[in-house]
Amino acid sequence: MASDAAGASHVEDDVDSDADIASEIDSLKRDFEMLADRTQTLLTEKLLLENEITQVSKRAGRLEEDLRHLKSPPLVVGHVQDVIEDRAIVKSSNGTVFLVTYNPRINHADLSPGSRVTLNQDTLSIIEILNDGWDPLVAASEIIHKPDTKFSMLGGLDQQIKSIREAVEMPLLNPDAFSKFGIDPPRGVLLSGPPGNGKTMLAKALANSTNATFLGIVGSELAQKYIGEGGRLVREIFSMAREKAPSVIFIDEIDAIGSKRLDSTTSGDREVHRTLMQLLAEMDGFSDSEGVMVIAATNRMELLDKALLRPGRFDRIIGIDVPDFEGRISILEIHTRNVPLDDSVDMRKLAKKCEGMSGAELKAVVTEAGMHAISEDKNSMSKEDLEEGVRRVLSERSRSTEGAEALYQ
Ligand X SMILES: Nc1ncnc2c1ncn2[C@@H]1O[C@H](COP(=O)(O)OP(=O)(O)OP(=O)(O)O)[C@@H](O)[C@H]1O
Q: Does 189 bind ligand X (CB under 6 A)?
A: no
What 3 state SS string does the chain have? CHHHHHHHHHHHHHHHHHHHHHHHHHHHHHHHHHHHHHHHHHHHHHHHHHHHHHHHHHHHHHHHHHHHHHHCCCCEEEEEEEEECCEEEEEECCCCEEEEEECCCCCHHHCCCCCEEEECCCCCCEEEECCCCCCHHHHHCCECCCCCCCHHHCCCCHHHHHHHHHHHHHHHHCHHHHHHCCCCCCCEEEEECCCCCCHHHHHHHHHHHCCCEEEEEEHHHHHHHCCCCHHHHHHHHHHHHHHCCCEEEEEECCHHHHECCCCCCCHHHHHHHHHHHHHHHHHHHCCHHHCEEEEEEECCHHHECHHHHCCCCCCEEEECCCCCHHHHHHHHHHHCCCCCECCCCCHHHHHHHCCCCCHHHHHHHHHHHHHHHHHCCCCCECHHHHHHHHHHHHHHHHHHHHHHHHHHC
Among 115, 149, 160, 200, binds Mg ion (CB under 5 A): 200
278 binds Mg ion (CB under 5 A): no
Select the residue interacting with ligand X from 78, 185, 186, 196 (CB under 6 A).
196
Q: How far is the CB of 330 from ligand X (least distance, A)?
A: 8
Residues 283-342 that bind ligand X (CB under 6 A): 297, 299, 331, 334
Q: Which stretch binds ligand X (CB under 6 A): 138-146, 152-160, 374-382, 388-396?
A: 152-160
Minimum Å gap between C-beta 384 and ligand X is 23
Q: Which of residues 200 and 336 has its CB atom nearest to Mg ion in the complex?
A: 200
Quick one: 277 or 360, whose CB is closer to ligand X? 360
Considering only 155, 171, 230, 231, the residue that binds ligand X (CB under 6 A) is 155
272 vs 320 by CB, closer to ligand X: 320
- Work out what residue 61 binds among Mg ion, ligand X, none; the CB cut-off runs from 5 to 8 Å by kind: none
Q: How many residues of this chain bind ligand X (CB under 6 A)?
A: 18
Q: Choose among Mg ion, ligand X, none what residue 363 binds, the Cβ cut-off being 5 to 8 Å by kind.
A: ligand X
Q: Is 275 near Mg ion (CB under 5 A)?
A: no
390 binds ligand X (CB under 6 A): no
Binding footprint of ligand X on the chain (CB under 6 A) = 154-157, 195-201, 297, 299, 331, 334, 359-360, 363
Binding footprint of Mg ion on the chain (CB under 5 A) = 199-200
